[in-house]
Amino acid sequence: MRPLAGERSLMKNFYLAVPLALAMTGCVDSAPDIQLFNAFIPDASCAVNQSGLASSGGSLDLSTSGRYLAAFQVRNSLSTQEVVVGEAPVTGGGDESSIYVNNVELNYETQGTGPTLRSDVYPYYFNLPANATQSSSAVLDLLGANASADLAAYFGGGGTAPVSVVVRLKLIGKTVNGKSTESNEATYPVTFYHSGFTCQAGTQLVPTGPCGLPGGQDGFPPECTEPEET
Indicate which CATH number applies to the domain containing 106.
Answer: 2.70.50
Q: How far apart are CA 222 and CA 230, in angstroms?
A: 24
**Cβ 77 vs Cβ 129: under 8 Å:** no
User: How many alpha carbons fall within 13 Å on the CB side of residue 1?
Assistant: 4
Among 35-39, 70-74, 80-84, 201-205, the range scoring the smallest mean pLDDT is 80-84
* Cβ 180 vs Cβ 171: under 8 Å: no
Q: Which domain holds residue 61?
A: 5-79+93-212
Mean pLDDT of 123-147: 90
Question: Is 40 a residue whose pLDDT tops 90?
Answer: yes
CA angle (118 as vertex; 72, 128 as ends), nearest 5: 25
User: Percent of the chain beyond pLDDT 70?
Assistant: 77
Q: Given a cut of 90, is residue 156 above it in pLDDT?
A: yes
* Closest alpha carbon to 192 in 141, 144, 119, 143: 143
For the chain, what is the domain count? 1
pLDDT band at 230 (very low <50, low <70, confident <90, very high): low
* Contact by Cβ (8 Å): 15, 71: yes
Tell me which of 2-6, 121-125, 128-132 is least confident. Answer: 2-6
Total-model pTM: 0.79
Residue 225 lies in a domain: no
Asked whether 105 and 131 are in contact (CB, 8 A), the reply is: no
Does 222 fall in a domain? Answer: no
Does 221 fall in a domain? no
Instruction: Please indicate, yes or no, if residue 125 is contained in any of the structural domains.
Output: yes
Residue 24 included in any domain: yes
Q: Is residue 87 in some structural domain?
A: no
pLDDT average, residue stretch 86-102: 66
What is residue 167's predicted lDDT score, i.e. its pLDDT?
98
Q: How confident is the model at residue 85 (pLDDT cuts 50, 70, 90)?
A: low
Beta strand residue intervals within the chain, DSSP E = 34-40, 58-61, 69-76, 84-85, 88-89, 99-111, 120-128, 137-141, 163-175, 180-182, 186-193
pLDDT > 70? residue 12? no
